[in-house]
C-alpha cells in the first residue's frame, strides 16, 4: 500500500492547467510510488526550536518537500544510492580556450567571473584538470565553466573545483535554413558606396 499523498499540495484552481508545480492531477496520473516526507518541525512563533539533526527521508533526498511541487515524485529504485555531497559555490568562472599546447598539455584561457565584479583575466591551465570525457572538446574557442566551491561531505568541508566544458547540440537542418534566410534578407540591405575620385 503506497504511503499517503501529502496534503500540503498547492491547491490549483480548477480552471488552471497543470503548472510546473506538481499539481494534484500530475500526482494522480503518474503511476509512481509516492514518497512522503513530513516536515515535523514547525519554526518560529512559539514552536520549540528543532535545531537538532533534521529528519531525513528514508531515501536520502536532495530535495526539500516543496521541490516536489516543482517536480514529480522521484522514483528511487535502490535505497543504497550514493550520498550526495552538498556544495556552496564560491566563484564561477566562464572560460574560453585561446590556445592549446598539446605537447606541454597546457591550454591558455580567458576567464570571466560570473559572481562579483572581478575583471576578466587570462591564465594557463594544465590539461590534467580537464576530465577524460571532455578532452576532445578542448580547442580554441571552446567554452568551459570553472566552479570553485566548498563541499560538505560526511561532515567535513573541503575546498574543491570542477571544470566542465560546454556542450552544444549539433546544428539542425531548420536552424541552418534560418541562417540562410537571414543572409538573403540582409543582402537586400547592402548598398555600395560611390568610388572616390
Contact status: 34 vs another protein (CB under 8 A): no
Q: How far apart are CA 123 and CA 108, in angstroms?
A: 6
Task: Please count the residues of this chain forming the interface with another protein, following the rule CB under 8 A.
Answer: 126
* Interface with another protein (CB under 8 A), residue from 2, 4, 14, 31: 31
The secondary element (H helix, E strand) that includes residue 31 is none
* Interface with another protein (CB under 8 A), residue from 15, 56, 155, 156: 56
Q: According to CB under 8 A, which residues from 146 to 185 bind another protein?
A: 146-149, 151-152, 159, 161-180, 182-184
* Interface with another protein (CB under 8 A), residue from 13, 17, 154, 155: 17
CB of 1 to another protein, least distance (A): 21
Over the window 108 to 127, marking each residue x when it contacts another protein by CB under 8 A and - when it does not, the resulting string is: xxxx-xx---xxxxxxxx--
The contacts of residue 57 (CB under 8 Å, 6+ apart) are 35, 37
The contacts of residue 9 (CB under 8 Å, 6+ apart) are 22, 23, 24, 27, 69
Grid cell for residue 86: 552538498
CB of 189 to another protein, least distance (A): 5
Whether 165 and 143 have beta carbons less than 8 Å apart is answered as yes
Contact status: 105 vs another protein (CB under 8 A): no
Contact status: 132 vs another protein (CB under 8 A): yes
Q: How far apart are CA 108 and CA 86, in angstroms?
A: 31
CB of 80 to another protein, least distance (A): 8
Q: What are the beta bridge partners of residue 110? A: 96, 122
Contact status: 130 vs another protein (CB under 8 A): no
CB of 14 to another protein, least distance (A): 16
Whether 14 and 24 have beta carbons less than 8 Å apart is answered as no
Amino acid at each position: 500500500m503506497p504511503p499517503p499523498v501529502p496534503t500540503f499540495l498547492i491547491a490549483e484552481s480548477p480552471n488552471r492547467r497543470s503548472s510546473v508545480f506538481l499539481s494534484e492531477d500530475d500526482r494522480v496520473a503518474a503511476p509512481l510510488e509516492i514518497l512522503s516526507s513530513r516536515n515535523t518541525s514547525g519554526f518560529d512563533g512559539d514552536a520549540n526550536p528543532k535545531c537538532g539533526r533534521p529528519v531525513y527521508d528514508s531515501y536520502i533526498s536532495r530535495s526539500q518537500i516543496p521541490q516536489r511541487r516543482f517536480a514529480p515524485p522521484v522514483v528511487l529504485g535502490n535505497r543504497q544510492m550514493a550520498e550526495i555531497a552538498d556544495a556552496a559555490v564560491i566563484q564561477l568562472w566562464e572560460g574560453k580556450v585561446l590556445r592549446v599546447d598539446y605537447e606541454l598539455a597546457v591550454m591558455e584561457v580567458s576567464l570571466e567571473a560570473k559572481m562579483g565584479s572581478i575583471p576578466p583575466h587570462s591564465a594557463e591551465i594544465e590539461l590534467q584538470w580537464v576530465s577524460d570525457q571532455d578532452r576532445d572538446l578542448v580547442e580554441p574557442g571552446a567554452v568551459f565553466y570553472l566552479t570553485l566551491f566548498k563541499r560538505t561531505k560526511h561532515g567535513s568541508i573541503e575546498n574543491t573545483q570542477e571544470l566542465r566544458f560546454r556542450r552544444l547540440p549539433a546544428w539542425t537542418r531548420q536552424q541552418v535554413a534560418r541562417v540562410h534566410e537571414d543572409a538573403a534578407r540582409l543582402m537586400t540591405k547592402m548598398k555600395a558606396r560611390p568610388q572616390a575620385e
